[in-house]
Amino acid sequence: MKCGKHSFFERHAKHWDTHPENENVKRVVKETEIKKGSVICDVGTGTGVLVPYLVKKTGKKGKVIAIDYAPSMIEQATKKWRNLPVEFVVADIHKTSFPDNYFDYVICNACYPHFERKKVALKEIYRILKNNGIIVISHPKGRDFVNNLHKSVGGCIAKDRVPQATILAKTLKSSGFIPLKVIDEPDFYFVSGKKTAF
């Protein structure tokens, strides 16, 4: 039976936190330069690795909505961070129910390669971002690490690749964003862009 990505993440949810957190997770948040009071969408949150840092940055007047299309991931994250002011939602970034121009930041940390239809997902992110809102696509362990990991795991994620950051920046530009930061280091990957109104 062919492996589906959804079922893959459902199966691994309970064991997702067995590996120690990478210090570069904090750098993702730092590079994003989040302003107090911001409304943030944490896409593909998994068990919520970014959540405590995002909540701290947004402050009491901000709002963090963490989404994942795997219910088991959201279940684990909800248990893990039940004392934090964050809303966990089962949702697929290819099509969400969020209003237009809603978020100040949409952060896709360690999940972009798994998007089945990347242009569709980017179009949806553009829709739900406010004008001048920021999209972030990041991988705290770097491009080569992620690509080699996916290849070694095989199955339904074997071909899920992180593109060179300069190529992703061009993709963002073609989707209506102005590229901002483009970082493609051996142990850290970060590409951001700003939504501009046509």
- Give the model's pLDDT for residue 114: 87
The candidate with the shortest Cα–Cα distance to 131, out of 178, 91, 65, 85, is: 178
pTM for the whole structure: 0.88
Q: Please write the tens of the pLDDT for every residue from 76-113.
A: 999 999 999 999 999 999 999 999 999 999 999 999 99
CATH no. of 5-11+23-195: 3.40.50.150
The candidate with the shortest Cα–Cα distance to 140, out of 37, 19, 58, is: 19
**Do residues 195 and 135 make contact, with C-beta atoms less than 8 angstroms apart?**
yes
pLDDT band at 156 (very low <50, low <70, confident <90, very high): low
142: left (phi over 0), alpha (psi -120 to 50) or beta: left
CA 77 to chain CA mean position, Å: 15
The candidate with the shortest Cα–Cα distance to 121, out of 175, 76, 46, is: 175
Q: Please write the tens of the pLDDT for every residue from 38-71.
A: 999 999 999 999 999 999 999 999 999 999 999 9
